[in-house]
Amino acid sequence: MEWADEGIILAVRRNGETGVLASLLTREHGRHPGLVHGGVGRANRGTLQPGNHVKAWWRARLADQLGSYRVELAQAHAADILDDPDRLAALASACALTDVVLPERESHPAAFAALVALLEAFKSDAWPSVYVHWELALLRDVGYGLDLTQCVATGVMEGLAYVSPKSGRAVCLEAGQPYRDKLLILPEFLVMGGEGDRQAVFDGLKLSGFFLERHVLGPNRVPMPAARSRLVDRFRP
């Protein structure tokens, strides 16, 4: 069994003296693991960094075996943002979340495209808002998208300010005021577009994180990745 694809490095773990176990999100083959022989060597060390875009060749005797990778660097996203702790934290969070949220060996082309777009967005100052949109897109890709188009209580499409933790649907300011302590804040930029300030980004991370834990991580008894928690702390007021 053999295939070639492009992928994003999600995680790398030491395997033996010189090898590594790499997890990649590939365009056609989804999240897929494989061994990289000699992965700790100088030739592969710079390539096997989370967030890097690579060309990958996978090979195994049988389709359900772990198999091995040969990888070639296409774009070094990690190296491009080494001097920016916030961007690095977001990149680490995105890779860690993708690695625990998406099922193994199941094609998710939309998730691949969204992660590539996020990595490109790190070149822009608007990346924090894009990151929140990316987490919501990841939720949609695994079947738990939020409905932020109209108020679940009144049907109005304006003045949306909250999200119901039960239904994942938007609630307008007027209808939500009596229950605001039980509702999640809906940042304006998620409805109207544009960029959110640091408080709005924090509220957006709290919103997406709630549903990630409730629908995806919790049922599978998987903790929220530490990298994602560190990113939230960077935006905490």
How many helices and strands in the chain, by DSSP H and E? 9, 8
Provide the whole-model pTM: 0.93
pLDDT band at 182, cuts 50/70/90? very high
In the chain, where are the structural domains located? 2-78, 81-148+186-235
Each residue's pLDDT tens digit, 112-170 = 999 999 999 999 999 999 999 999 999 999 999 999 999 999 999 999 999 999 999 99
d(CA 214, CA 165) in angstroms, rounded, equals 9
Each residue's pLDDT tens digit, 159-180 = 999 999 999 999 999 999 999 9
Each residue's pLDDT tens digit, 42-74 = 778 789 999 999 999 999 988 888 999 999 999
Strands of 127-214 (E only): list them: 160-163, 170-172, 184-185
- CATH code, 2-78: 2.40.50.140
Q: Residue 194: which region, alpha, beta or left (left: phi > 0; alpha: psi -120 to 50)?
A: left
